[in-house]
Structure formats: C-alpha cells, structure tokens
Structure 1
Amino acid sequence: MNVRTLYHTARGLQDLAATERESAASPSLRRRLWLWRRGFLSRSDAVYDLDESTYRDYLNDYRRFVRTKQINGTWSIALSNKLLFHRVMQPFDDHRMGVYGMIRNGSFHSVDGGDSRREVTDGGAVVPTESESEGETDSREAAARRNANVAERRDSNHPDPRSSAETRNAAQRVVERLESDGRLVLKWVRGGGGNNVLLCERTDDGYRVNGDCYAEVEFRSLVSDLEEYLVCEYVEQGSFADGLYAETPNTIRIITMYDEERDEPFIAAAIQRIGTADSAPLDNFTQGGLSAEIDLETGELGPGVSPPGDGDLEWHAVHPETKTPVEGAHIPGWSEIRERVLEMADTCSFVPYVGWDIIVTGDDGEFSVIEANSYPGLKSIQVHGPLLTDDRVRRFYERHGVR
C-alpha cells in the first residue's frame, strides 16, 4: 500500500467515524456492534433492509467512505474541483451551467470571460485573430455555435455587468451580476454533497441567501468573506422538475460506471430527488428530501421515499405537501438524457466512477449538469434496493478493489 492509499484510507476512516458520531440513530449496543462488524453505520439500519441474508448485497458504509474514494485515483480531482470539472465539460457546452468567475482573496477572477486570442464584435460574434490557422478557425466557429446555444438560455436583454464595471472587487461584481440576472449560485470550488452552496436572489428590499434575508451591507460582507467560491448561473428548471416542488431545484442523480471488459460506460442507478420544506432550499435526501427511483428504460418514477426521523421510512405516491403525483410520472426526454450522459461518461472514461447531478430544463431532453461526484453517497440510491444484486455493478466494484 503506497503513501497516497494510506492517506486516503486514514481520511476515509476519519470521515466514517465522524459520521457515526454525528448520527442521531440510536440502535441498541448489541445491534450497533452487529452493524459495525459488517461495515455499516447506525443510520444505515433505518434505511436498508439489513439482516444476515441481505447485508452482503449492499455496498456498506466502510466501502463507500474508504474504498470508493480510491476508484478514480488521482483523477478524482477532475470531479471534486468544480472549476476543473467545468473545463472538463467543455465539449458538452450545451449542458454546462455558466460560471461567471471565482472569488479569491476578496477579488473576482473571470472564468467564462473573454479569450485573449479572440476578438468580439459589437454584435457579439466571435472572430479569430490573424494568428489562428484555418483549423483553429473552424474550432473557434464550433465553439461560438456552442456558446450561442448556451446564451439562448440566458436573458439577452441583460448586459454583462463586466462591460460596465472592470473592478475586481468580488462583492461589487456579485451585486452587479444579481442586478442583471436576479439570481445566481455561489459554490465552494471543492465542496460536495450540497454543502457550501449559496442560492442568492435579488429582492425588492435587499437580498435572499438560502431563504434568509440580507441587507446590502450584510450581503456584501458575506460575499467578501468567501474564499474560492464560484459565481455560477442559476439554472432554471423546466416545467416537469418545477411541477414536482417549485421551492427547490429538483435534480436527478445518475451513477455511471465504466465497464472495462466491454469498453463502455453503463448506468448503475438513477433517482429523481425532490425537495420538501425540510430539505429546502435544496433537495438533499439526507436533509429530508424525497428520492424516487427512475426506471432506466422508460424514465418512469417509482414512489418517493423520505428518510426516517424517529420512525420508519415514509413512501409517497404523491408529494406530501403539494400532492403532485410522483409515482408513475415520466421524466420528459429521458432516452435523450440517458444517452447523452453515457456519451459524457465515455468521454471521461479516465474517471470510471461518476455520480452526475443534472437538472431537466425542458421537455425534449434538455438538461444542465450541476456537478459531478467522485464518490457519491448511496443511501438515496440503495434505499430502493441493494446495488450488489446487479452482477455488472458487483464486478465493477470488485475490479476496483471495493470488497
């Protein structure tokens, strides 16, 4: 075992222990010892159907925290660093959320800004400089077409605030962007699992961040204190996702694995996450959101399930608050979404294990990738059934030393 593996094993064990300490679950000591010997945390007992005949079919918490973190090796950074992932996704520009810039040391650093090798006309068209070859010109024109597709998702009547303010002051740039767009997202460049995500909105009398109201001076102070946060486009979900629960973005989690025997990626599982009052402003299952299994062939949703509080899992054919049907609903354009995600996974085959978080933006297979995870959480997946009953999934984990 090399130094890197030892380091990540130690970090994984620390995370595992910290999660157990923070757990509100309280099985008996006898039951807890039974769970620990088999690699499960106490909270898993309320989510999974665990006994001597079934526990081997679940990917346990030890394997998830310690072993799956090592599947992607050094290339896990391509997913865990959101700015790098944004660059990796460049061939799929139609499905990238816009990243305006990064906040660092109180300064704003442009990300999806101008390119010194290009000139932009008054009409917004990208033209090559004299130093570009014919091949480079073709590439630039293709990039311009992709950028035009992205621009259609944004309000062309709102000018880019960078054109009127060249300051690098992060708070000022974020305030100006909110004046233009109305809403945006601030994400820590290395965060995951919905942590360190700030949904920001301009209101008539100030600002709202994750539902909390801020006066302008308070909001500027908040932004100024952020370090290595990306300033991102707020992706508007389509009518299907919005109809599930309008108070949160409702994302789809898709887990892809690369099958080296067949030299192709495949989808191991997919769920529709749906927000609730408990999980707002996000849709996280662990915070009280719903998880509905997606039929991989048809895109049909099963019932939504919410995590247990003091009792058992709760299953919902309709949303418990809005009464919108969940079970039996169909994701629009699912076949197009599925094939496009597989194409992305194939392009990123050097990262064999990915948890994609996407949001459906239209009715014909349009979607945006919000982020991707190198070792995705599995409770919201395996609550619908154990992963290891699928031989292809089991073989994937075994090939990568997840035993």
Structure 2
Amino acid sequence: MILDYSSDMAVSMILLVDAEVKAAKNADINWATRVWLWRHGFISIAPQVFDFDNHDPEDYLSHAQHRLRACKIDEPLIPLFHDKRMFDQLLNAYDEYLPECYGVITDGEVRLFDNEESRSIDDLVTAPPTGGLVVKPTEGMGGRGVDVIESNGDSLRLNHKQHDPSDVMTAIKEHTDSLLYERVQQADYATDIYPDASNTLRIITMIDPDTDQAFIARAVHRFGTDASAPVDNWSRGGICAGVDLETGNLMEVAETPGGGKLKRRKDHPNTGAPVTGTEVENWEMIQEEICSIAEYLSRTPYIGWDVIVTDHAFKIIEANGRPGPNTMQIPGPMLTDERVQRFYCHHDVI
C-alpha cells in the first residue's frame, strides 16, 4: 500500500514518521496494536478517532495514503492556500464570502488597508467592530498564533480575558507576519452551543473526474471547548459532529477527553447545549455556493474549507489543499462512498 514512491517520497515519509513520533507520545496502546496500525497505514492516534470496532480499516483513508499520495493532488498550487493574503486575492470574485481584512502586521508594524477615514490602529483596537477582531498568522493552520480581541463595555478582552488597551496593543505588535480580520459573527445556533469560540464547518469538496462538477464529500461541524477557546480545532481540544449532507442536521458529538479514546455524546461537554439534531442554518445555500467556488478553483480539485455560518450566509475563514484524514472521518470512514472512492482512484491515492 505504501511502496509506490514518487520522486519526493522521502520527504513525505519523513513527515509521516514525524507525525507518528508525535502521536506515539500520547497514545496508550500496546506494541501489537501499534504494529497492526502501521501495517494498515495508520499512525498511533488512529484508535482515538477511528472506530475500528465497527468499520473495516480499509474503508478509511489511512494516514499513509493521505501523506504519501492525497497531499499531492493539488500540487503545485498548494501555496495558494498557505498564504492568506494570496488566498484572499484568489477569491476576489467571491469576496462577499470572505471576512473583511483590516490590515497587515509586519515585524510589529501595523498597516491598515483602504484607510479612507484615517482610522488608526489604536482607534480600531479600542473600538473594535461588532464581533471583535482576529489576528492570525499570514501562513499556518490549526489555530496556532491566533488572538481574538473583543470589546467588553469600557474594557477589552484578549482571548476572553480582560486586558488594558495597552496590553492588547502590545500583544498585536508581537505578531511578526499576521493579518487583522473582522471577527465574524456566527449564527445564533452556533453561539448557543458554545459562545467563546468561532465554531466552524470543515467541508471537503472534490471535483468529480467524470463530470468535472464539484461535490461535497464530507462536512463536519467543529465546536470550541473550555480547553480550546478561542479556537475550535480538534488538535487543541475542540469537539466535532458530522453533518448529514441531505438535511444539514448535526450527528453525534465526538470528543477525546484528556486525549483518550473517542467518545460519543449528544450535547456540548461544557455548556450542556444539545448538538445532535441541530440544523445548520443556510445549509442548502452553503452547499451550492461552496461547490460553485470549488469549481471556480477546479485546478485544485481537493479542498478543505473552514466556514463560519452566519445568520444569512457564511464566511470562508481559510481553505486547505491537504485536508487531513482525522477530523473528516470521525463520523465514519470516507471510502464507503462510491464517488469518493472514484475520486481517490483517479488520483492514484487508493
């Protein structure tokens, strides 16, 4: 399964081994299980996210298939997704679905864009727009290096903790290469489930090799927790629930409390708000528009979209040309879908 090396296979193998080394440190499994996982192309985190008790391992896209093959589907255009400024320009035709970008921070210096009102960064920080501000690195993913700034009456909150304006400005200027965005106001259902994070949809689109049309292969709704806030990333302690693609209803919640084995529940572990059965607002419109945008970017046929649902539409926070196999397969294995199989076969992934 993992012997068909391409010219840069050595680098991919190193990255795969590095991922295993990191996963093994937190994996409470015996050596027999670990060897079984390796034989099937999985790293040691797999039992925490995949249900091998009820599904054949061959039904899952493995970590080896992901790292050694699927990661190459969108090459050489992967850099378009890594640089947020480049990505914003790429989607200029769909800018109504992008959060407003106020400026760039380079080596502690802040430069605001389109500053017709001569607004200073101090004005923007001390009186942030409704919803607040988000500072995120120009490059990078996984919620690392993200700061959230909100107004709290006469004071400011930085990552949900009260701070003086001078402290917030200092935190902003500590960023070396970052962008300053509006903090998108998410739809009420998402706030009701967990208010202290921007709770995002991860939507995987693929371009059908037979029809050249985009389809949604999988959608998962992530929610922040007290461990992950102000972000919702699974790797930071967030939770997720699969989305029924037909109805837009949320499935069971998946969590790994304390980094342990995957557990299922129907509510949020901190707020107690019901999750299972909740309908994602604007779901039909989101499907149509995301597929339209995916077809616009059809030269990159494999995209993971991070989307915040708003009251009337949605905003694309970022996109990834190498969507990982973990979170998107927590609701169940992807290779049981014939369209997904056909896509991966066409691109020599399976």
- Asked if structure 2 preserves the Cα contact closer than 8 Å seen for 1:285 and 1:307, the reply is no
What residue is the counterpart of 1:382 in the other structure?
Answer: 329
Partners in 2 of 1:279 and 1:108 — Cα distance?
27
Which runs of 5 or more structure 2 residues have no equivalent in the other structure?
1-5
What residue is the counterpart of 2:144 in the other structure?
Answer: 195
- Asked if structure 1 preserves the Cα contact closer than 8 Å seen for 2:222 and 2:232, the reply is yes
What residue is the counterpart of 1:222 in the other structure?
Answer: 171
What residue is the counterpart of 1:12 in the other structure?
Answer: 12
Higher deviation after alignment, 210-219 or 17-26: 210-219
Higher deviation after alignment, 89-98 or 178-187: 178-187
What residue is the counterpart of 2:3 in the other structure?
Answer: none
Deviations 1:4-38 (A, max 9, x none): x645x444333333332223112111211221222
- Is the partner of 1:293 in helix, strand or coil? strand
What residue is the counterpart of 1:71 in the other structure?
Answer: 73
- Asked if structure 2 preserves the Cα contact closer than 8 Å seen for 1:58 and 1:386, the reply is yes
Partners in 2 of 1:180 and 1:186 — Cα distance?
15
Q: 1:52 to 1:92 in 2, by over 3 A?
A: closer
Partners in 2 of 1:53 and 1:235 — Cα distance?
38
- Partner AA of 1:304 in structure 2: V
What aligned pairs does 1:36-115 form with structure 2 within 5 A after superposition? Answer: 36-50=38-52, 54-111=56-113, 113=114
Which runs of 5 or more structure 1 residues have no equivalent in the other structure?
114-159, 166-172
TM-superposed deviation, 1:260: 2.2
What aligned pairs does 1:265-280 form with structure 2 within 5 A after superposition? Answer: 265-280=214-229
- Asked if structure 1 preserves the Cα contact closer than 8 Å seen for 2:209 and 2:346, the reply is no
Q: 1:325 to 1:40 in 2, by over 3 A?
A: same
TM-superposed deviation, 1:251: 0.8
- Asked if structure 2 preserves the Cα contact closer than 8 Å seen for 1:103 and 1:228, the reply is yes
- Partner AA of 2:345 in structure 1: E
- Is the partner of 1:199 in helix, strand or coil? strand
TM-superposed deviation, 1:340: 0.8
What aligned pairs does 1:129-168 form with structure 2 within 5 A after superposition? Answer: 163-164=117-118
Q: 1:308 to 1:106 in 2, by over 3 A?
A: closer
What aligned pairs does 1:356-371 form with structure 2 within 5 A after superposition? Answer: 356-362=305-311, 364=312, 366-371=313-318
Partners in 1 of 2:75 and 2:273 — Cα distance?
42
TM-superposed deviation, 1:310: 5.9
- Is the partner of 1:270 in helix, strand or coil? strand
TM-superposed deviation, 1:63: 2.0
Partners in 2 of 1:229 and 1:244 — Cα distance?
29
Partners in 2 of 1:52 and 1:34 — Cα distance?
16
Partners in 2 of 1:107 and 1:311 — Cα distance?
42
Aligned residues: 341
What aligned pairs does 1:187-266 form with structure 2 within 5 A after superposition? Answer: 187-203=136-152, 207-266=156-215
Partners in 2 of 1:283 and 1:53 — Cα distance?
27
Partners in 2 of 1:241 and 1:379 — Cα distance?
22
TM-score in terms of structure 2 length = 0.89
More helix per residue: 1
What residue is the counterpart of 1:138 in the other structure?
Answer: none
- Partner AA of 2:147 in structure 1: L
Higher deviation after alignment, 369-378 or 59-68: 59-68
Partners in 2 of 1:351 and 1:269 — Cα distance?
17
Q: Does 1:372 align with 2:319?
A: yes
What aligned pairs does 1:311-350 form with structure 2 within 5 A after superposition? Answer: 311-350=260-299
What residue is the counterpart of 1:177 in the other structure?
Answer: 124
TM-superposed deviation, 1:295: 1.0
- Is the partner of 2:235 in helix, strand or coil? helix
- Asked if structure 2 preserves the Cα contact closer than 8 Å seen for 1:305 and 1:314, the reply is yes
Q: 1:325 to 1:350 in 2, by over 3 A?
A: same
TM-superposed deviation, 1:305: 1.1
TM-superposed deviation, 1:202: 4.2
Partners in 1 of 2:249 and 2:259 — Cα distance?
30
Q: 1:66 to 1:271 in 2, by over 3 A?
A: same
Q: 1:110 to 1:63 in 2, by over 3 A?
A: farther
- Partner AA of 1:87 in structure 2: Q
* RMSD value, Cα: 2.3
Partners in 2 of 1:11 and 1:230 — Cα distance?
30
- Is the partner of 1:73 in helix, strand or coil? coil
What residue is the counterpart of 1:169 in the other structure?
Answer: none
TM-superposed deviation, 1:44: 0.6
Deviations 1:42-85 (A, max 9, x none): 11122213379711111111222332221111211221211111
Deviations 1:276-333 (A, max 9, x none): 2122111122322221111111111111111253643221212223222211111122
- Asked if structure 2 preserves the Cα contact closer than 8 Å seen for 1:174 and 1:231, the reply is no
What's the % identity of the aligned pairs?
35
**Structure of greater Rg:** 1
- Partner AA of 2:66 in structure 1: R
- Partner AA of 1:72 in structure 2: D
Q: Select the structure with the greater relative contact order (CA < 8 A; seq sep ≥ 6).
A: 2
- Is the partner of 1:388 in helix, strand or coil? coil
Higher deviation after alignment, 182-191 or 255-264: 182-191
